[in-house]
């Protein structure tokens, strides 16, 4: 073991009359521990929030939505679905009919967005089938012949109008019928076949799902689809795949994708992550200042030892290395302990869902913590670099110490 490292370790574990130096060193280690731990927890929080919101959005909406360039519905949606499924990178395709209306019950009413779906095809595009409570997505395929057609309501929407599974609701469609008194809204009764809990408050409070053919009668006015939705194999290559799909389909089609539709949301989350990371990262900077103060005090305390080492033949570089090693050991110990505690805190907070948030604001009920290996590596390497740089000035000051001056009055 190099003698510089032995001396650095001895100085860090000084006892008796140098115990004050050991206390200052422990405080410096603690500062690094707190800084690294806080930064890891903050990054885990923001990453978990981003991932959970993205997962919920992609579970409820399609990766790519195709529509006609003139704003009219798809008369050829069957052909578009079949052609899209044969394209590379496309995992599934399904037609959908969208419409707005009012859902009413004896207990209340609410404005909702209705989506007409074919369950077998919808399962290849979204994860709505796994989100149904008290029923199943296949209930929409078995439309009742002697009663109201089935409908799936968002769980919060059902709670808002006071209905549950098995209750009957009325849907007021804006596509009304002509009567002697003018155009009257079309009223259709539906039986609630299940509730949908997507994890996104915006969808659970304002969306409902009905059979594809029923939605065509209410909103499409014919054998049409509003959109053709696609699921692809790489969510981050969605823009490239979208261009390939449009090229394959030819003119007359446009497309939107999940990134463009949610860009403002994820840009805001990314900005928050960076701002929080930089702000909490300042704690590591403060801990580095504690290391600077510790080494300066150490140099003042050990000036006689430094002079003796130089007199015995130790080089200026060796003296520099002694104090740089001392500061680096403080930083490494604090970083290692902070990294372990930060990772453990993220695991506990995520597993037991300890951080609850309002669903109507953040779209989710609790904050998951996901600490990426890349983020952890950046924090650890950054903390080590900051702590190392903090040792440079005090170590160079120790190397410049004049042994004759230090020993003159001894």
What are the tens digits of pLDDT across the range 111-124? 999 999 999 999 99
pLDDT value, residue 303: 82
Q: What sign does the dihedral 136-141-145-150 (CA atoms) show?
A: positive
pLDDT value, residue 16: 52
pLDDT value, residue 298: 87
- The conformation of residue 144, written as its DSSP 8-state character, comes to -
Mean pLDDT calculated for residue range 303-331: 90
pLDDT digits (tens, 9 = 90+) for 214-230: 999 888 778 999 999 99
Whether the predicted pLDDT of 67 surpasses 80: yes
How many other CB atoms are there within 10 angstroms of residue 252's CB atom? 11
As a whole number of angstroms, the distance between CA 316 and CA 400 comes to: 7
Contacts of 268 (CB under 8 A, 6+ apart): none
pLDDT value, residue 121: 95
Of 66-80, 140-154, 186-200, 263-277, the least confident? 140-154
pLDDT value, residue 357: 81
As a whole number of angstroms, the distance between CA 234 and CA 127 comes to: 16
Mean pLDDT calculated for residue range 43-63: 92
The neighbouring-strand residues paired with 92 are: 231
Band (pLDDT 50/70/90 cuts) for residue 402 is confident
Mean pLDDT calculated for residue range 236-244: 95
As a whole number of angstroms, the distance between CA 13 and CA 302 comes to: 14
Mean pLDDT calculated for residue range 78-104: 95
pLDDT value, residue 82: 96
pLDDT value, residue 115: 97
Mean pLDDT calculated for residue range 361-373: 85
Whether the predicted pLDDT of 181 surpasses 70: no
Closest by CA position to 42, among listed 350, 346, 334: 346
Band (pLDDT 50/70/90 cuts) for residue 292 is very high
pLDDT digits (tens, 9 = 90+) for 87-97: 999 999 999 99
Whether the predicted pLDDT of 72 surpasses 80: no
Band (pLDDT 50/70/90 cuts) for residue 374 is very high
pTM: 0.84
Query: Between 404 and 18, whose confidence is greater?
Result: 404
Whether the predicted pLDDT of 382 surpasses 90: yes
pLDDT value, residue 180: 58
Mean pLDDT rounded to a whole number for the chain: 90
Whether the predicted pLDDT of 30 surpasses 70: yes
pLDDT value, residue 64: 97
As a whole number of angstroms, the distance between CA 337 and CA 195 comes to: 46
Whether the predicted pLDDT of 359 surpasses 70: yes
For residue 12, the SS3 value is helix
């Amino acid at each position: 073991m190099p003698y510089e490292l032995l001396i650095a370790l001895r100085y860090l574990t000084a006892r008796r009359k140098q115990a004050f130096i050991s206390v200052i060193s422990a405080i410096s280690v603690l500062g690094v521990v707190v800084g690294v731990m806080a930064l890891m927890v903050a990054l885990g929080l923001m990453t978990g929030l981003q991932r959970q919101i993205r997962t919920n959005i992609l579970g409820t909406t399609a990766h790519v939505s195709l529509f006609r360039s003139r704003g009219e519905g798809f008369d050829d949606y069957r052909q578009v679905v079949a052609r899209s499924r044969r394209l590379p990178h496309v995992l599934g395709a399904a037609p959908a009919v969208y419409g707005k209306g009012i859902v009413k019950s004896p207990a209340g009413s609410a404005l909702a967005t209705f989506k007409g779906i074919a369950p077998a095809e919808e399962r290849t595009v979204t994860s709505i089938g796994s989100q149904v409570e008290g029923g199943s997505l296949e209930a929409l395929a078995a439309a009742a012949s002697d009663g109201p057609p089935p409908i799936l309501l968002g769980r919060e929407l059902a709670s808002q109008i006071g209905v549950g599974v098995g209750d009957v609701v009325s849907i007021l469609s804006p596509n009304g019928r002509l009567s002697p008194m003018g155009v009257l809204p079309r009223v259709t009764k539906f039986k609630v076949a299940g509730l949908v809990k997507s994890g996104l408050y915006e969808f659970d409070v304002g969306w409902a799902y009905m059979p594809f053919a029923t939605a065509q009668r209410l909103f499409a006015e014919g054998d049409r689809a509003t959109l053709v939705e696609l699921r692809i194999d790489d969510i981050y290559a969605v823009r490239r795949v979208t261009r390939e799909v449009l090229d394959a389909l030819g003119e007359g089609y446009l497309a939107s994708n999940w990134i463009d539709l949610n860009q403002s949301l994820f840009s805001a989350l990314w900005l928050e992550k960076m701002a929080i990371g930089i702000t909490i990262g300042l704690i590591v900077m403060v801990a580095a200042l504690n290391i600077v103060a510790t080494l300066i005090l150490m140099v003042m305390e050990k000036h006689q030892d430094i002079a003796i080492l130089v007199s015995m033949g130790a080089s200026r570089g060796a003296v520099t290395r002694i104090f740089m090693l001392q500061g680096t050991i403080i930083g490494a110990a604090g970083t290692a302990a902070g990294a372990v505690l930060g990772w453990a805190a993220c695991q506990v907070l995520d597993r037991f869902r300890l951080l609850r948030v309002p669903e109507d604001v953040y779209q989710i009920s609790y904050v998951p913590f996901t600490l990426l290996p890349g983020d952890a590596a950046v924090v650890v390497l950054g903390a080590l670099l900051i702590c190392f740089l903090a040792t440079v000035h005090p170590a160079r000051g120790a190397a410049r110490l004049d042994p004759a001056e230090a020993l003159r009055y001894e």
